[in-house]
Structure 1
Amino acid sequence: MPTSFPLSITIIAITFVTGLASLTIYKIFNQNTDKLQNQKVNHNTITTIDRFCSIPAYLLPLLEGLQNFGQQILPDYPFSLMSLYKKTLMPFVIVYVTHPNWAFIVFFILYYLFVRPKSPIPNRPFLRFNVIQAILLFLINSLLGATFRALPIEFRMSLYGLMLCNTLFWFVLLTITYSVIKSIQGKYAKIPVISQAVKIQIDNRN
């Protein structure tokens, strides 16, 4: 349809500007916030295994976000991005969608290994921080997805609904990308509210 391309470009542009504004606000917040107490841990205790074992847990919230928001708005993005998505993440999303019980199985395995008070995993604060943060992001994405699907379909298919879907999609993508980068660097992520909630959970358990 002749109007679909300009509409998609408008949505992407507005979402991009919103994302930049959010990143700016986050940077200001980040500069004025005290470092997490967990960052006082000597970085020598954060091993390479801790760094890279923290990454797979973020696949769970990523697939949840792609299922809830990505499938609706990615077809409106440039063909090159959609082609890249089909070659990389789409096969995982298809498996995730066709086997929804797997997400809950992985969730309870992660909970058993890292969250519950008597965890069988040795005390690895950095690894536990990232796994709990990934679980929390998964729960938030699930809640946002259920809330978005509960909205009237007329709103979801409207310009404002697509803008909201884009915003939620980029929230998922940016928070997970940021967390993975911090994990590779061996640093604690500082996502406002979310990372603080994880820190409280770990402090209460210790």
Structure 2
Amino acid sequence: MPKSFSLSFIIIALTFVTGLTGFTIYKIFKQQKDNNQKPSFDNNTITTIDRFCSIPAYWLPLLEGLQNFGQQILPDYPFSLMSLYKKTLMPFVIVYVTHPNWAFIVFFILYYLFVRPKSPIPNRPFLRFNVIQAILLFLINSLLGATFRALPIEFRMSLYGLMLCNTLFWFVLLTITYSVIKSVQGKYAKIPVISQAVKIQIDNRN
């Protein structure tokens, strides 16, 4: 399959999935009438829809982390791991890198739907918690990536630079994996500082 055709297919697929996900979430929750209800962080109120609609938002910080740190260190990992990465995530990272405006578009869509005052989606605490947490992880990853790239190239290519890059990469990967697992389980993630900040944001908005 030609490379240009593969990239075009991935672009079309990502656009379709993003649009369909956003439209589906909006239609599902538009009919809810609990806008003024105080958010409850009780796990018993979490539905299956809440669980699985919370997961796609974590693609944003994942791709940002892979772009900032993964591409530099993954070639040094065992061949089997690099081969798995090339077959699964690398095509999405390539599209993400070559179309940086997409990240901002998705960011503002999520902000409009879940974060801003008078959001068009009614109050769903668990879903909003995970979306806001994904946005916060994305912003943290962007800041860490920009800071790392601002360091002298001699340091970035040194042993200490690679150790720092590895640490940041695993921070990104583990926090996102942990958050997704908790979403599937229908439980709130407890990432130090980050999760507390998200809950404060949700409480203050209501």
TM-score range, shorter chain: 0.7 to 0.9
User: Residues 65 and 51 (structure 1 numbering): CA distance in 2 closer, same or farther, change over 3 Å?
Assistant: same
Q: Does the CA contact (< 8 Å) of 1:39 and 1:187 recur in 2?
A: no
**Where does residue 140 of structure 1 map in the other structure?**
140
Q: Does the CA contact (< 8 Å) of 2:41 and 2:126 recur in 1?
A: no
CA-atom RMSD in angstroms: 1.4
**Where does residue 47 of structure 2 map in the other structure?**
47
Q: Does the CA contact (< 8 Å) of 2:39 and 2:124 recur in 1?
A: no
Unaligned runs of 5+ in 1: 1-37
User: Residues 39 and 177 (structure 1 numbering): CA distance in 2 closer, same or farther, change over 3 Å?
Assistant: farther
CA shift at 1:43, angstroms? Answer: 2.8
Deviation per residue, 1:17-67 (Å, 9 max, x gap) = xxxxxxxxxxxxxxxxxxxxx996443321111000000000000000000
Large movers: runs of 4+ above 4 Å:
none
Task: Calculate percent identity across the aligned residue pairs.
Answer: 95
Q: Does the CA contact (< 8 Å) of 2:57 and 2:131 recur in 1?
A: yes
Please show how residues 1-206 of structure 1 align to structure 2 within 5 Å.
41-206=41-206
CA shift at 1:173, angstroms? Answer: 0.1
**Structure 1 range deviating more: 44-53 or 166-175:** 44-53
- Output the CA distance in 2 between the equivalents of 1:47 and 1:171: 29
User: Residues 203 and 83 (structure 1 numbering): CA distance in 2 closer, same or farther, change over 3 Å?
Assistant: same
Unaligned runs of 5+ in 2: 1-37
> What is the one-letter code of the residue matched to 2:197?
A
SS in 2 for 1:81: helix
Q: Does the CA contact (< 8 Å) of 1:51 and 1:186 recur in 2?
A: yes
CA shift at 1:126, angstroms? Answer: 0.1
- Output the CA distance in 2 between the equivalents of 1:169 and 1:73: 8
SS in 2 for 1:119: coil
Deviation per residue, 1:156-194 (Å, 9 max, x gap) = 000000000000000000000000000000000000000
The TM-score, its normalising length taken from structure 2, stands at 0.80
**Where does residue 22 of structure 1 map in the other structure?**
none
